[in-house]
């Protein structure tokens, strides 16, 4: 049988994006500290910085102390302020040859709620969980797999590496210190940062594209010439 003489279509590009503080204006943990958690908790972040807890364990332990009713917690979730143009941005990115995947060291419970309310369906790699009144937000580690991280729950850098191994052009957008490894894997022209990630990259002498709202990332990537391209 003759081979198809038509060239294979180019691989679609991949945007790997953080959620809290990236796809949203605010981080759920920070809002929870301000509005949902008692002030006399142990210093779990201090234990994390001292190496006695992992990042996952510190977040899990904080979330477990939430005692508000679910409606109150959901009100805080909505105050994270998901990118209001998300559905429109995803259509623009799709038309420009970009797939989008969410990676988060937070909890998929609130991520999936916000994405569903926005009417969008995206692959999400995050820590599974559920809210139980009287027991708090119960966050669990993901099952063992190619993107499992003992430290964060989810290996964001592993998701980026997978895209690169597939021969894709990969971009990354994030805002936190745990995003550094993933951000360093992509070229500075495809590295988007704000907040703590931007400060860490600056201190490390690494270039990046600053952004304030996630729609700015989508607009930059959807511009002509930034989508489906071969990786040499």
Please write the tens of the pLDDT for every residue from 176-202: 999 999 999 999 999 999 999 999 999
User: Per-residue pLDDT tens for 128-183?
Assistant: 999 998 999 999 999 999 999 999 999 999 999 999 999 999 999 999 999 999 99
- Among 3-7, 11-15, 120-124, 219-223, the least confident range: 3-7
Beta carbons of 190 and 206 less than 8 angstroms apart: no
Question: Where are the domains positioned within the chain?
Answer: 13-222
CATH of domain 13-222: 3.40.50.1000
- Overall size of the chain counted in residues: 232
* C-alpha separations of 183 from 17, 54, 118 in Å: 10, 20, 26
Q: Which two tokens stand for residue 211?
A: 């952004």
- Supply 48's token pair: 């994390």
CA distance 202 to 196: 10
pLDDT score for 224: 74
- Quote the tokens at residue 67: 């005692």
pLDDT of residue 1: 47
User: 70 is written with which tokens?
Assistant: 């679910």
Task: Supply the mean pLDDT for the chain.
Answer: 93
For the chain, how are helix, strand and coil distributed in percent, rounded to 5? 40, 20, 40
Please provide residue 120's backbone torsions phi and psi, each rounded to the nearest 5 degrees. Answer: -120, 150
Report the candidate in 64, 33, 31 with the shortest Cα–Cα distance to residue 137.
Answer: 64
């Amino acid at each position: 049988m003759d081979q198809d003489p038509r060239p294979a279509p180019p691989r679609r590009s991949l945007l790997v994006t953080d959620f809290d503080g990236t796809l949203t204006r605010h981080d759920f943990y920070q809002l929870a500290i301000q509005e949902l958690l008692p002030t006399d908790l142990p210093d779990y972040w201090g234990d994390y910085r001292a190496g006695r807890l992992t990042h996952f364990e510190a977040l899990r332990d904080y979330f477990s102390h939430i005692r508000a009713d679910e409606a109150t917690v959901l009100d805080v979730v909505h105050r994270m302020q998901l990118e209001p143009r998300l559905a429109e941005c995803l259509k623009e990115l799709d038309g420009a040859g970009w797939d989008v995947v969410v990676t988060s060291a937070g909890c998929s419970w609130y991520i999936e709620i916000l994405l569903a309310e926005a009417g969008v369906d995206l692959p999400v790699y995050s820590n599974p969980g559920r809210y139980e009144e009287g027991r708090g937000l119960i966050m669990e580690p993901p099952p063992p797999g190619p993107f499992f991280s003992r430290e964060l729950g989810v290996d964001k850098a592993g998701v980026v590496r997978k895209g690169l191994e597939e021969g894709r052009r990969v971009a990354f957008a994030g805002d936190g210190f745990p995003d550094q490894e993933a951000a360093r894997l992509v070229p500075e022209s495809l590295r988007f940062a704000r907040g703590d990630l931007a400060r860490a990259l600056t201190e490390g002498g690494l270039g990046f594209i600053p952004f304030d709202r996630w729609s700015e990332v989508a607009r930059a990537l959807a511009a002509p010439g930034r989508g489906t391209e071969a990786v040499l």
